[in-house]
Amino acid sequence: MPLDLYLVRHGETEWSASGRHTGRTDIPLTARGERDAAWLATRLKAAQFTHVYASPRMRARRTCELAGWGAAAVVEPDLAEWDYGDYEGLSTDEILKVRPGWSLFRDGCPHGESPEQASARADRLLGRLRGLDGNVALFSHGHFGRLLGARWVGLPVVDCALLQLDTASLSILGREHNGPVIALWNERPAGPSP
């Protein structure tokens, strides 16, 4: 059975709603985040997963639980969000005031992960996952999820800027004609965008 990776970004948190970079900080889902994660249960109900992995952060684990797959999930440290270092808790606008022209995917974060380090982590994880068969669920985060999508199809880290990934979204990384493809990207529940 060919490998398909079902990439799920966690539901909304107070920091994701306000645009604050949330890497190591462990904060809960908002009421909307919980509701949207429950939508994922409906969307993923028919999926037959051979493996389910979740980031160690509570927002991803809780999304996995509400989506109906918490009992099957294995915590995978490599699914954690990008380490924002000194930029943890700051919005992009706040960062640009002190570092004009900054781009996470080009510049990384002081005392956090560089693009090369985050890409190596994504490549290491994808290398392990490529040895699996069937549908595999991954409950992760926004920037790291974008990185997984880009690296799955062989794009460099800087091209992550071309991929938007909303909270409580579903994406599918699959294969066609023996090559990697993005089969679905950023599907989310109906209603206003975050």
95: domain CATH number?
A: 3.40.50.1240
Residue 193 lies in a domain: no
Arithmetic mean of pLDDT, 165-176:
96
Label the pairing between strands 170-176 and 179-187.
antiparallel
Tell me the HSE value of 86 on the side-chain side, using a 13 A CA sphere: 10
Q: How sure is the predictor about 2, in pLDDT bands with cuts at 50, 70 and 90?
A: confident
Q: How far apart are CA 22 and CA 112, in angstroms?
A: 12
- Which residues are known to be catalytic? 10, 81
Residue 192 lies in a domain: no
- State pLDDT tens for residues 110-169: 999 999 999 999 999 999 999 999 999 999 999 999 999 999 999 999 999 999 999 999
30-35 long-range CB contacts below 8 Å, 24 or more apart?
Answer: 33/59, 33/63, 33/167, 33/168, 34/62, 34/66, 35/11
In the predicted structure, residue 193 carries a pLDDT above the cut 50: no
Residue 149 lies in a domain: yes
User: In 3D, which of 21, 1, 186 has the Cα closest to residue 103?
Assistant: 21
Residue 194 lies in a domain: no
Helix/strand/coil for 160 = helix
Q: How far apart are CA 76 and CA 139, in angstroms?
A: 9
Q: Is 145 exposed, middle or buried (0-12, 13-18, 19+ CB in 10 A)?
A: buried
Q: Which range of residues forms the domain containing residue 135? A: 4-187
Per-residue model confidence (pLDDT) at position 189? 80
* Number of domains forming the structure of the chain: 1
- State pLDDT tens for residues 37-89: 999 999 999 899 999 999 999 999 999 999 999 999 999 999 999 999 999 99
Rounded to two decimals, the pTM is 0.95
Per-residue model confidence (pLDDT) at position 191? 58
Residue 79 lies in a domain: yes
